[in-house]
Amino acid sequence: MRVGKDIWKECIPCKGLCCKWETVLLTQGEIDRIAKKVGKKDFYKKKKKYWVLKQDKDGLCIFYNRKRHRCNIHKVRPFDCEVFPFDIEYYKGRLIWFLWTFCPVVKKQKLSKKKFDLFLNNIELFESKILKEFTEKELIKYSTFYDPNLEEGKTWKIIRDVKLLK
């Protein structure tokens, strides 16, 4: 189930910076969904206590298509990829939506207000549909992957608290 609209057309010229930089976390549901799509299960590994997508020798995600500069599993890409440059972090006891400000689209302020508002609408859809895949405990575990001492302002910016479904 994919609810996000393809509002990131500007992403293509950066040639997959986030597909190289980011460690993509996977839930069991995502592993099953991707395995069904690609017909194998050798695309992930354990990092710390999490399942993550494998990367090639240059650090690019193994599903990144270098010729077309696109994702080979776009329709079933993980939540982590789908919401980028937004993300969820468990920060100072709060589950928050935040924005990675190192993303070139964000840096160059190509993220217009119209698109930002569109994404905010998508956040509501993510909360009402995709987040059903996580229990609160799983979501907190999933959201504590990054260094908890990261300071807001350098590479990311808080958007708002995550509204958990009951």
For residue 105, the minimal CB distance to ligand SF4 (Å) is: 14
Q: With respect to ligand SF4, which residue has the nearer C-beta, 78 or 90? A: 78
Distance from C-alpha of 118 to C-alpha of 126, rounded to nearest angstrom: 12
Distance in Å, CB of 2 to ligand SF4, minimum: 12
Number of residues counted as binding ligand SF4 (CB under 6 A):
10
Matching residue, tokens 């958007």: 159
Q: Is 81 in the site for ligand SF4 (CB under 6 A)?
A: yes
27, amino acid identity:
T
Only one of the segments 71-79, 89-97, 120-128, 137-145 lies at the binding site for ligand SF4 (rule: CB under 6 A); that segment is 71-79
Nearest by Cα to 16 from 53, 52, 68: 68
Asked whether position 105 contacts ligand SF4 by CB under 6 A, the answer is: no
CA–CA separation, 160 and 95 (whole Å): 9
Examine residue 61 and tell whether it contacts ligand SF4 (CB under 6 A).
yes
If we measure between CA atoms, which residue out of 155, 43, 158, 46 comes closest to residue 97? 158
CB 83 within 8 A of CB 25: no
| Residue (53 or 162) nearer to ligand SF4, CB | 53
Site residues for ligand SF4 per CB under 6 A: 19, 24, 53, 61, 63-64, 71, 73, 77, 81
